[in-house]
Amino acid sequence: MSEEGLLDLRNKLDNIDNKLLELINERMHIVHQVGALKAKSGGAIYRPEREKAIIDRLEKINSENNGLLNRSAIEALFLEIFAISRNIELPENIAYLGPEGSFTHQAAEGRFGAMSSYISVSSIKGVFREVNTKKVKFGVIPIENSSNGIVTDTITCLSEYNLKIIAEVVLDIHHTLATTCDKIKDIKRIYSKDIAFDQCRKFLTNMGLDEVEQIPVESTTKAAKLAAREPETAAICAHVGAKLHNLPILFENIEDKDNNKTRFFIISDFENAQSGNDKTSILVKLPDRQGVLVEFLTDFNNAGINLTKIKSHIVEGNSIFFIDFDGHKDDENVKNILLKYKNSVKVLGSYVKEINDI
């Protein structure tokens, strides 16, 4: 291609960028007007069901026009635009289970964008406390991992606090081996979280690192920080953690299972409207009598409600069930069930369904 032809293409790209900027600014002006109306009516600014409807519509238009973007690309673009829009209406403060660079931090930024203000909190209960006292509007905490199951602390706090689940985020969990060493044989110690060691056991054995000293620390981000400072060490950490501490990555995606996922909840103090593709989470403490659980589950089946998860837990000495099912708490068939068991059920929230299960 000639220099003249290349310059012409660059000019076209510049013109498109100019139009995009103009259109985005036009969108932000309208967002500001919507925000003013919501402020008067007391409406919630973050509406996950509305954002999903927009992305569904754009994906359909993109497909019909043979666009080059897939759904992930559309989400990456527009979730950031949504986040910027919300920050124009009202700056967002988000607490997450830290430290900085953790997978929970990654989940929070993926949903709320780069412009929001993030607060790292050292415990799940601390995140709930920050939201409950209204120091922050949103909290992000893990609820389950496909390899390690349900996070008990999250269940306990959902039982204790009267906050609502307003969204779920599901992340593919990938680990890296990051080190300043140029060669595997130079690594004498490896830092990581105990769970991460377990999730990368085959890799460590295959690479001859199973005999190297493995030092558990409280987070993979701290592991990256230590490995960046100390010679002859490495860290098993997230990509974002290695990047945060300028630690070179030697191997990526070293986890044993390629379908390792973690599900996170976003909690706040409001409830979502129906989206048409919802999931509801509840906590259930049934009376202590024979057959009551079978009766409870049969009522859901007879109402045509699909239970996607049921897990039993002990909270403060009491046996309770954490249950997910398809549908919104305001759906007619769901309302009837919840009314029948109103003394046994705590509704944790209805929210747009991201995934059936992990």
pLDDT tens for 215-249 read 999 889 999 999 999 999 999 998 888 988 999 99
Residue 237 shares a structural domain with residue 290? no
* Confidence at residue 217, expressed as pLDDT on a 0 to 100 scale: 94
Whether 39 has a pLDDT exceeding 60, the answer reads no
Alpha carbon distance 89, 86 (integer Å): 5
Q: How many CA atoms within 13 Å lie on the side-chain side of 87? A: 17
Q: 65, 89, 113 — which closes off a domain?
A: 89
Residue 40 shares a structural domain with residue 77? yes
* Confidence at residue 49, expressed as pLDDT on a 0 to 100 scale: 77
Q: Read off the pLDDT of each residue in 259-281 and give the average, rounded to a whole number.
A: 91
CATH code of the domain containing 324 = 3.30.70.260
Whether 356 has a pLDDT exceeding 70, the answer reads no
The answer to whether residue 328 is domain-embedded is yes
Select from 293, 303, 313, 309 the least CA-distant residue to 333.
303
- What is the tens place of the pLDDT at every residue in 121-168? 999 999 999 999 999 999 999 999 887 788 999 999 999 999 999 999
Whether 88 has a pLDDT exceeding 80, the answer reads no
| Coil, strand or helix at 204 | helix
* Confidence at residue 45, expressed as pLDDT on a 0 to 100 scale: 62
The answer to whether residue 49 is domain-embedded is yes
Q: How many CA atoms within 13 Å lie on the side-chain side of 250? A: 20
Using CB atoms within 10 A of its CB, is residue 104 exposed (0-12), middle (13-18) or buried (19+)?
buried
Q: Which of the pair, 275 or 340, is modelled with greater confidence?
A: 340
Q: How many domains does the chain have?
A: 3
Residue 230 shares a structural domain with residue 283? no
Token reading at 67: 């666009």
Residue 282 shares a structural domain with residue 212? no
The answer to whether residue 353 is domain-embedded is yes
Residue 240 shares a structural domain with residue 285? no
CATH code of the domain containing 8 = 1.20.59.10
Residue 186 shares a structural domain with residue 247? yes
Percent of the chain surpassing pLDDT 90: 59
- What is the tens place of the pLDDT at every residue in 311-340? 988 777 778 999 999 999 999 999 999 999
The answer to whether residue 341 is domain-embedded is yes
Model pTM score: 0.79
Q: 89, 105, 127 — which closes off a domain?
A: 89
The answer to whether residue 334 is domain-embedded is yes
In Å, how far are 11, 50, 105, 206 from 23, measured between CA atoms?
18, 20, 30, 53
Residue 245 shares a structural domain with residue 280? no
Residue 199 shares a structural domain with residue 245? yes
Q: Read off the pLDDT of each residue in 294-305 and give the average, rounded to a whole number.
A: 92
The overall longest dimension of the chain from CA atoms, in Å, is 83
| Coil, strand or helix at 218 | coil
* Confidence at residue 222, expressed as pLDDT on a 0 to 100 scale: 93
Residue 280 shares a structural domain with residue 247? no
Print the domain residue range for 330: 274-358
Whether 42 has a pLDDT exceeding 70, the answer reads no
The answer to whether residue 158 is domain-embedded is no
Confidence of residue 304 (pLDDT cuts 50, 70, 90): very high
Percent of the chain surpassing pLDDT 70: 95
CATH code of the domain containing 221 = 3.40.190.10
Start-to-end C-alpha separation, the chain: 49
* Confidence at residue 274, expressed as pLDDT on a 0 to 100 scale: 87
Confidence of residue 1 (pLDDT cuts 50, 70, 90): low
The answer to whether residue 245 is domain-embedded is yes
The answer to whether residue 242 is domain-embedded is yes
